[in-house]
Structure formats: structure tokens, C-alpha cells
Amino acid sequence: MKYKWLVLGFVLSFAALGATAEGVYFHGAAGWEPPPLYHGNAFAPGGVGGAWWWVYEPLFVYVPGPGKTIPSGVFAGRDRMIPRLGVSYEDTPEAFVVHLRKGVKWHDGQPFTSKDVWCTFTLGYLKHWAIWKYLEKIEIPDDYTVIFRWKKPTPFAKPLIAANVILWPYHIYGKWAERVDLTAPTDVEPNKSVTEELLNFKPEKPIGTGPFVLDKVTASDMLLVKFPDYWAADKVDFAGVKLYRWVNNYVVWGYLIGGELDAAHPAARRNITQAILSLPGMKLATPTDLAGFCLAFNLRETLPDGRPNPFLNLKFRQAIAYAIDRAQLAQATYWAGLPITDYATGLLESMRANWGVTDEWMKANLTNYSYDPGKAAALLQELGYRKGPDGIWEDAQGNDLKFSLVAHAGYSDWVIAIDNIASQLKKFGIIIEPETRPGSIYWTSIRAGNFDLCMEWTATSWGYAHPWAELRRTLHVDGDTAKTIGLAETPYVFVGPDGKPVDTTALVDELGATFDLEKQIELIRELAWIHNENLPVLPFVEKRIMIFHREGVRVTGWPALDDPAWLLAPGGIERFYTTMMVEGVIKAVK
């Protein structure tokens, strides 16, 4: 009896697969919370999810490069701004003035005005948006002008303005925005109760101004349809977007191999990549992810077990750098990344040349740490270590060189990296005990100094795409990797190019405040020198996003693989897809 129905069910569902919706849907993958957790308020956890860049728009889209294929936008020296809700801007040290697009509508039909921008950035204060470090207030002289007034001038005005989408319309969220006190901290009244109320506000769907409207959400799919009143509706060639829920990379590989997606960016090992690329029309773009991986040394007075800390000695750190074949390490850890094999500048390998740190300059000024076990051995001998009969280096007292190396258990590439480093150093004669720690305690434990060697991020410039953010990570006392290595408390003295002790924090701050490009390059070079010659961490790979995209099935017109337009991807891959659609670069296959 039951079987009959089952069979009938199969037959029917196969029939159902044959039916198609009218118009071309872009097929992508993204994460969101499954219903009933899903809701449409970006302020509270569980809100909006992968619909983000499809339903919302920023004032401008910022590209840290020229962008060959994007028709609109202003290219100025190193970067360009593509107009979306803003049409033009004036950038001065005192204020950033934005002129808004007219005739834009929210998905519920209400007109878009400067009040919505004010409302969004005001509530952004409660979310500690990075821009509020520099922002004093927002003025709205009329419906289509917004003035961002700085309390301290910032060279990063453009990326900061462009980092956030306009996501809280005044006609819904205004009642909360009006109550926010911009002079008080976020955890005191009235801000505290506004936050609390916003966290508990859960409308069913997000309301944005973007090209697509959220239609349906389930635990496995999300369906967005084209917004008919969108200001550039004529350029958007797709009837809608179908998103597959991103449970983990493994599930997304399956969708890609099955030919179900037009684009997705799961990091994949070489064999999986080959399997995906074997589909006709499938291509792989690999723009930088604006971050890299490094091996971090503990630079505190003693190691956690009380031993005196050999990493305080620069030559010892250099010996480790020479002893590791970083090309091999990078290959095993993140094969699609950009290996960093010779130097250790603390800058993004793919972007450094734009900022004066060219190959020639490095060759002339920096120590080259490319793989050389002979040099490593010589350095250790110079420091008084001897190789024991078992092939392991020993100190003067006859103790084996033996260190722990920890990684975040949830980052599978880091787990592979520590195994790789352990086996390389074992061959060289240093015992490394790899250890993984669950994410819930990893960051706490390493920032408390509870490690000998560990895996960390380096050269992160999320949200800024500027060397200032990259160098700040490790060389400024407030930087996150600086906290891991113990920059604030280390007895090790950083030395500058002039051979004198140097305050790296002050230099980083100076870099973050200067508008003068020449001066910026000078400071970047100095800090790169300090990073390389003092070697607080050993970077080995720059992370790149692996964007698989399929040409000719449903979508056509993807930019060439080396087009700087791909630099839109880090920090919001859908920002890239939507911009390409709104600019009319990618089109539907009819």
C-alpha cells in the first residue's frame, strides 16, 4: 500500500523537475538561519543572511583598483567609487558630502531620502560601525544631500562610507534612531534599551532598495525576485535569484559539481577544483581575500611552561624562518593562495607593489628568508645549540628543542598547516607538538599567551583595503595578532632601519592619519622593513577567494580572470555579483 504512494510520488516529482519558472534565475549559494530563526531585521542575530547584497545597496561601491569592465564610476589614483544610492560626492578632510539618487523606492513602495541614510548610520552607531571612530555627526540639509562630518580627518573616508549598505528605512526604524544618543556609550541608557528593543524586533522579511526582493525562505533554499520599481531595473537582466543554503563547503562543492550553481566561492582542494572545472563553461577567479596566514611566535618573557623563551632572540626566529619551506607549506595549506616565500613584510603580497614595496626595493633593502636549512643550522650553532645524536637540536644544557604549535580546530587549513610545519621542522631537528583547540577557547587562550607557536591572521585589511590595516594587525598594540604575540609586554625591542629602538604603534597611527600619498609610501616602507627585520610573525600565504563561475549556461559576460573588478569580492562576494548585474556587465542567457 505504502509503496504504491511512494512510487507515485517519485513519478510526480520527476515530472515536477521538468517544469521551469519564467525568466532566468541566477543560481548562487549563501548562508542564512533556517526558519523559524530567520527574520528581516539586520540588527538582530538571524536577520537577513545571504539576501544582504541582493536586497540592500550601499551609497557607493568601493573598488581598490581601476576596474576595467565596470562602465560607471570615478577612478582616482588607486581606487574607484561606483555610484549606487549616491550619485556624486565631495571628499574633504572636514566632511564627506554625498548627493543621493532621486526617484529610488524601498521594496514597500516608500520613497528613499536622506532620512533613511541618517537612520541607518545612526543605528550603525549602536553596532559600533568602524566609521564612527572618525564620525562626529551626520547632517541632512535636504532630502537628497547627506554630510558626514569628521571629528578627526581620515584618509579612509571612501571605503568607510562604502562599507555599509543602507538597511534601516526611516519609516520603519526611525522611532528607534530618534532615541539614540550619539554622545553616550552604547551600553548605557537610552542606547541600551534601544538596542534591546531592536534585538527583539523581528519582521518576517527584509525591506531594502536593492534590485531583488526576498520572496521565500526555507531551510534549504531562498528565492528572490526582481524588484520592478528598481532604479536600474532595465539593466538587471535576471528575473530573480535562487540561493542554495550554504551549510558548509562540502555541500556547496556538491552543488557545483552537480552543475546546479552559476557562481559560488567555496575554498576547495585541488582535486575538487578539477572536478568542478571539468564542467563546460566553468571558470575560477582568485582575487585576494585581503588577509593571510602566518606562524606567530610567542614574544613574552617566558613560555607558558615557565621555560626561558628562545623566540625572544631574533636570530632564533630567523632560523625557524629559514628552516621552513614556505612554498611547500603554502601549497599544502591553501593551494589556491598566493605563497609568500622570500620575505616577511606583513603586507598583502598581491597589493604591496602598489604601495612602493616592489620586488626591487625588497631585494635592495630586506633580508631574504627563502628556504635554506643550512643557514638555519648555522644560526642555531651560532646561538650555542648543538645537534644531538638523535638528530634533534639541543641547547647548552642538553635539552631538546621542543615546542607546542596550536591551531583553531575549526579551520581545517590551519590544522593541515600545523601538521605540515611539524613534519618539516622534525626533519630539520626541532620537535613540534601540533595541538588543535576548539574555537570557543582558541582566541582566548592564545591572546592570554598560552602557546609557544600558533597560527594567526596576518595583513588583514578587511573593510579598508589599505596597508595601514595590514600593518596594524601585528605592529600596533591594539592589533589582534599583536595581542597574540604579546607586543605590549614583550622584552624584545623592535629596531628601525636606523638601528635604533622604534615605537611601531606610533608609526602605524601616523600612517593612519596622513593624507599625503608620498608620506604614506615612506611610512609603509619603513614599517615593512621593521616587520621583515624583526620578524614577529612568519607569513606564508595570502588567502585568495576561489570564485567558481559558469559562463554560458544561465549567465554570460563574466569579467576576465585578471580584471580588477574581482577586487569587489572580498568581504561581500554578492556585492560583486549584484554590481555586475546592476552595471549590466553580466547578462542572462536567453
Partner 1 sequence: MMRTLLGNKRALVGAAILLLYFFMATLGPFVVPLEEEQHPERAFQPPSWEHPLGTDYLGRDVLAQIVHGSRDVLFVAFLAALFAIAIAVSVGILSGLKGGLVDQVLMTLVNMMLTIPHLPVMMIFAAVFRVRDPFSFASILAFWMWAGLARAVRSQVLSLREREFIQAAQILKLGTGHIVFKEILPNVMPYVAVNFVSMMRGAIVSSVAIMFLGLAPFSATNWGMMLNMATIQTGAIYIPRALSYVLSPLVAIMLLQLGGYFFAHGLEEIFNPRLRAHE
Partner 2 sequence: MLIVLKRLGLALLTIVVVSVITFIVIQNVPGDPIYEWAMELVQTSGLDFETAYKIAAQMYGYDPNEPLFHRFVTYVKRLLRGNLGYSMIYRASVNEIIAKALPWTVFVVSISLLLSFSLGVILGTAIAWKRRSLLDPLVTGYASFTAATPDYVTAMLLLLFLAIRLKWFPTRGAYDIGIEPGFSLRFIGNVLHHAALPILSYTLEAVGGWALAMKGAAVSVLGEDYIMAAKARGLRDRRIVTAYLARNSILPLITGLAISFGGMFGGSILIETIFNYPGMGWFFSQALMRKDYGMMQGLFLLTITATILANLLADLLYAKLDPRVRLER
**Which positions touch partner 2 (CB under 8 A)?**
2, 5-6, 8-16, 19, 21, 33-37, 44-46, 127-130, 163, 186-187, 195, 199-200, 216, 218-223, 242, 245, 247, 251, 254, 258, 438-444, 462-464, 469, 478-480, 483, 571
- Full 3-state SS string of 550-570: ECCCCEECCCCCCCHHHHHCC
Q: Are 83 and 89 in contact (CB under 8 A)?
A: no
**Cis preceding-peptide flag for 36 (omega within 30 of 0):** yes
- Smaller CB separation from partner 2, 255 or 316: 255
Binding of partner 1 by 199 (CB under 8 A): no
CB nearer to partner 2: pick between 15 and 396 = 15
Window of 253-261, 351-359, 498-506, 526-534 that interacts with partner 1 by CB under 8 A: 253-261
CA distance 296 to 452: 9
CB closer to partner 2, 90 vs 204: 204
Residues in Cβ contact with 444 at an 8 Å cutoff, skipping those fewer than 6 apart: none
Which one, 221 or 359, has the nearer CB to partner 2?
Answer: 221
**Window 303-332: residues binding partner 1 (CB under 8 A):** 331-332
The β-bridge partners of 30 are: 245
Query: Cβ closer to partner 2: 232 or 257?
Result: 257
12 binds, among partner 2, partner 1, none (CB under 5 to 8 A by kind): partner 2
- Closer CB to partner 1, residue 60 or residue 451? 451
Examine residue 271 and tell whether it contacts partner 1 (CB under 8 A): yes
269 binding partner 1? (CB under 8 A)? yes
Half-sphere exposure of 350 (CA within 13 A, CB side): 23
Distance in angstroms (rounded) separating the CA atoms of residues 61 and 159: 8
Region binding partner 1 by CB under 8 A among candidate stretches 127-135, 190-198, 223-231, 415-423: 415-423
- Backbone phi, then psi, for 243, in 5-degree steps? -110, 135
- The span of 80-88, 107-115, 134-142, 433-441 binding partner 1 (CB under 8 A) equals 433-441
Give least dist CB 425 to partner 1, A: 12
Give me the helices (H) in 19-156, please: 52-55, 114-126
Three cell numbers, residue 308 = 626561558
Structural element, H or E, at residue 257 = helix 249-257
Number of residues counted as binding partner 1 (CB under 8 A): 26
CB 355 within 8 A of CB 526: no
Applying CB under 8 A, among 129, 335, 361, 443 the residue interacting with partner 1 is 335
Q: For residue 81, give every residue at least 6 positions away whose Cβ sits within 8 Å of its Cβ, in sequence order, or none.
A: 60, 61, 62, 63, 73, 74, 89, 158, 162
Binding site for partner 1 (CB under 8 A): 248-250, 253-254, 257, 268-272, 275, 331-332, 335, 409, 412, 416, 419-420, 422-423, 426, 436, 438, 441
